[in-house]
Structure 1
Amino acid sequence: MSIIGIGFDLVTVSEFGEQLERAGTTMVRESFTPGERRYCQGKGTDPARSYAVRWAAKEAVLKAWASSRFARRPQVGDNPYLLIEVVNDAWGRPSIRLHGLAQDFLPRAKIHLSLTHDGDTAGAVVILEDPAPE
């Protein structure tokens, strides 16, 4: 197995809180899947933390994806954020589920994900691993 891409991103949680307070179409409403929005809104008093860390994860995936395509066009499409979904298992552990074009370009990649938040900062690290050739 070999590492084919690494991505890292940090975001400010309060900026997501401001987005959530705005009426109408916002980045939050356009960039998260219905499942992600349900999860984040169900997080009680501070859904902004959940949105922020998921945004950082999506950005980290995009950065890892782009680095895996070194010297080739990234080909992420118009709104790649909906192609990358952060899901949680029954114990709350996060992972990445790819859809559409993202799944087509990374069909065999194993995606390692680590999320964190501290105060007004949220971050994510993604490592793309290519399994041994079939």
Structure 2
Amino acid sequence: MSVVGVGIDMVSVPEFSEQLSTPGSTFIGHFSVGERRDVADRTGDGARNLAARWAAREAVIKAWSSSRFGLPPLLPETAVNEVEIQTDAHGRPRVRLHGDLANAIGHLQIHVSLTHDGDMAAAVAVLEERPAD
């Protein structure tokens, strides 16, 4: 298996929280029902957990973009909304893709790691070719 791309992103939790709580903001709607439910079921700061998921979405897009060096971009800027971060019963994350993004990179295996430290949330994504069957 070979690595196709690597991406990383960091999000300021206070700024992200402010964006979520701004009156009239529809930003929470960028998260799937499953993501919102998962965050609501967890203890702690919901904004912090959503910020890590947003960082993971951006990291996936950056990993794909890094694999396209020198080539024209294939994805619209809204592709970040086609990335969903799911967690299992133990809180381990995985990426689920939708729409055009699923068609573009759904054939790749995506590894993702989320973290929080102080006022920052971060994520790393690694795209890897799937092993041949």
Q: Under a length normalisation based on structure 1, what TM-score does the superposition of the two structures give?
A: 0.89
In the alignment, the residues of structure 2 paired with residue 28 and residue 47 of structure 1 have an alpha-carbon distance, to the nearest angstrom, of: 11
The gaps in structure 1 that reach 5 residues or longer are none
In structure 1, what is the Cα distance between the partners aligned to 2:41 and 2:73?
34
- Which residue number in structure 2 is paired with residue 124 of structure 1? 123
Q: CA deviation at 1:45?
A: 4.7
Contact 1:33 1:82 in 2 (8 A): no
Q: Number of residue pairs matched?
A: 133
Return 34-43 or 15-24, whichever deviates more. 34-43
Alignment of 1:40-55 (within 5 A): 40-55=39-54
Aligned to 2:74: 75
- Any idea what SS the aligned residue of 1:50 has? helix
Amino acid at match of 1:112: H
Residue type matched to 1:16 in 2? F
How high is the sequence identity, in percent, across the aligned residues?
Answer: 47
For residues 22-101 of structure 1, what are the structure 2 equivalents within 5 Å? 22-29=22-29, 31-101=30-100
Counterpart of 1:3 in structure 2 is 3
Partner letter of residue 89 of structure 2?
A
CA RMSD of aligned residues (A): 1.7
Moved more, 76-85 or 58-67: 76-85
Deviations 1:44-81 (A, max 9, x none): 45111111101110110010011122222222225212
The Cα offsets for residues 93-130 of structure 1, whole Å up to 9 and x where unpaired, read as 11110111111011221101111001101100100001
Structure 2: unaligned runs, 5 residues or longer: none
